Structure 1
Amino acid sequence: MTGGPEPISAEARRALEQELADLLDERRMVAATLKDNPEVGDQADQADELQRVNQLDRLDRRITDITERLRQAELAGPARTDVVGVGSTVTVRFADGSVETLQIGEGAEALDQNLVTADSPLGRALLGRRAGESVRYDTPDGPASAAVESIGEPPA
């Protein structure tokens, strides 16, 4: 990771935008349940009200995080296709001959099994590599290797 704004894949952008829309809907629903006068009601009502306020705080923090991540991705522009970086789509051939198309992303973007975080052993090994280069990395079963076949959308 460069320390500057990092791009994200189109898939990760769509997922974050959907999560943001869902969070905004949830926030509207929770906010609508809050009472104007928290002094009204018994202690159970007040505890319930406090729980909803805490839920709003949690929602607001996540909304802020996602909004900032989308803004940073916009500043970063599209993922590079000449060298592997955060946001790249990478097709990799493993030592056993299997080929997989992976997304290099951040931990917060863990969308599915095809996402490799930039701070994982494979992710760190792939960062900065070009098509045709091989990488070595550690796995729980020992050292492994892979070759970068392509960067960008998977070959048709």
Structure 2
Amino acid sequence: MVISGDKGLSPAARRQLEKEIADLRAQRAALAPQPGEQERTGDAADQADVIDRAEAAARLERQIAEVSAKLEHGAYDSSLLPDGTRVSLRYADGDEEALNVVTLPGEDVDSLTSDSPLGRALAGAKVGDEITYRTPRGQAKATVLELTPPKD
């Protein structure tokens, strides 16, 4: 199986993760106490606000660490289809659809994430296979018409 991008991440996925880290860091910086602010807190409400902000900053730190780990170690799970795989399906009602497999959801409406129920059902499938996957309305079936891994 071909792994696309750096450590299983496509360039678009890498940019998305880098933007997410930048946004999280900006949020964390906005929560940081101003110099001398902790010494000025006098009443319980001020102290509670400082504690709430510190807890929110700690949550942001954990999120930053998780996203940084994805960037450093990759997000590729060898049991899933690699980012950039092209898939065409024929659904039980006869409709056909072409999709791109992505690691991270984005704005592309013609995509599916590799770890979605449909993405997991496609892992290991071959052209001509009928797959079954879970939807909010119950089980669904589709026939694989095309399954093209990304080019290096």
TM-score, normalised with respect to structure 2: 0.71
Q: Structure 1: which 5+ runs fail to align?
A: 1-5
Deviations 1:22-78 (A, max 9, x none): 11122122115475535732111101101110111011000000000111118x6xx
Identity of aligned residues (%): 25
Cα distance in 1 for residues equivalent to 2:106 and 2:130 = 24
- Provide the C-alpha distance between the structure 2 equivalents of 1:129 and 1:34, rounded to a whole number of angstroms: 58
- Provide the C-alpha distance between the structure 2 equivalents of 1:84 and 1:129, rounded to a whole number of angstroms: 11
Secondary structure of 1:94 counterpart: strand
Per the TM alignment, residue 86 of structure 1 is displaced from its structure 2 partner at its CA by 4.2
Q: Separation in 1 of the partners of 2:52 and 2:138? A: 45
Which letter maps to 1:87? Answer: D
Offset at residue 99 of structure 1 (A): 2.4
Paired residues, number: 138
Q: Deviation digits for residues 97-148 of structure 1, max 9, x if unmatched?
A: 422223243xxx333552334251x222211335x34341134354412315
- Structure 1 runs (4+) deviating above 6 angstroms are none
RMSD: 3.1
Greater shift in the superposed pair: 25-34 or 60-69: 25-34
Any residues of structure 2 matched to 1:134-153 within 5 Å, and which? 134-139=129-134, 140=137, 142-149=139-146, 150-152=148-150
Give the structure-1-normalised TM-score: 0.69
Superposition pairs of residues 1-156 of structure 1, within 5 angstroms: 7-33=8-34, 35=36, 37-38=38-39, 40-73=41-74, 85-95=81-91, 96-105=94-103, 109-112=104-107, 113=109, 114-120=111-117, 122-130=118-126, 132-139=127-134, 140=137, 142-149=139-146, 150-152=148-150
